Structure 1
Amino acid sequence: MQEDEANRIAATLMERGVIARVARPSSYRFGVRIPLGDGREALWDVDGAAGLEAQVMRDGVLVGFVPQIPGSEHFDEAQTVEAILATDYGSA
């Protein structure tokens, strides 16, 4: 995910009532960070892979994940936002 894309997706999520920020896990890598309210946070698309997936972290430790969404490598920004909004983190 490019920085400008991550900014637009985070802004759209915030407009839809989700707390979202741009994640910067390393140089030149960007994604979207969503706090889940129970001490966990979802880090969307921070690994540089082609498809959309999330790592669920607590205190810097991986505690779950959302597997790559089939076909997400072809998603536009609106589809990415909808996929993030539709995610159930209960099983992640």
Structure 2
Amino acid sequence: MDENRARRVVDALRDRGTDADIARVGVYQFGVDIRLPDGRVASWDTDGTAGLEAQVMRNGMLVGFVPLIEGSEEFTEEQVIEAILRTDYDQPIATRRTTTPPPTEPLPRRGGVFRRFRDGFRYK
């Protein structure tokens, strides 16, 4: 996932009340981190492959994963957002819900006033 796409997905998820942040895992390698209520973190699309998948970590240990979603290589940003929102992380091998949970109160976007300064003006 490229940086600008990851940023747009994170902003859309935060607008829907999901605690998301950009995962910076390497040089020009980005993904989406979802912080779950019980202290786990789901890292989406951080391995550089075209498909959408996630690893669920707690304290640096792998405790679950989301298998590759078929056809996700061609997903639009809206479809990526829906796939992340519909994921049920209760089991070690995550499943997808049939419906999207309703949005909650929006969370503020990370970075505030100095967001573009801190990120080096790399996006519009």
Q: TM-score, normalised by structure 1?
A: 0.97
The answer on 1:63 being equivalent to 2:57 is: no
Q: How does 1:68-83 map to 2 (within 5 A)?
A: 68-83=68-83
- How far has the Cα of 1:63 moved from its partner? 1.1
- How far has the Cα of 1:77 moved from its partner? 0.3
Q: Which has the larger radius of gyration?
A: 2
The percent identity for this pair of structures is 59
| AA matched with 1:61 | M
2:42 maps to what in 1? 42
Alpha-carbon separation, structure 1, partners of 2:2 and 2:67 = 20
Structure with more of its chain in strand, by fraction:
1
Structure with more of its chain in helix, by fraction:
1
Q: Unaligned regions of 5+ residues in structure 2, if any?
A: 93-124
- How far has the Cα of 1:28 moved from its partner? 1.1
Alpha-carbon separation, structure 2, partners of 1:26 and 1:64 = 22
Alpha-carbon separation, structure 1, partners of 2:4 and 2:86 = 23
Q: TM-score, normalised by structure 2?
A: 0.72
| AA matched with 2:89 | Y
- How far has the Cα of 1:49 moved from its partner? 1.0
- How far has the Cα of 1:61 moved from its partner? 1.4
| AA matched with 2:18 | V
Alpha-carbon separation, structure 2, partners of 1:64 and 1:3 = 25
Question: What is the total number of aligned residue pairs between the two structures?
Answer: 92
1:86 maps to what in 2? 86
Q: How does 1:17-56 map to 2 (within 5 A)?
A: 17-56=17-56
- How far has the Cα of 1:58 moved from its partner? 0.7
- How far has the Cα of 1:26 moved from its partner? 1.4
Q: Unaligned regions of 5+ residues in structure 1, if any?
A: none
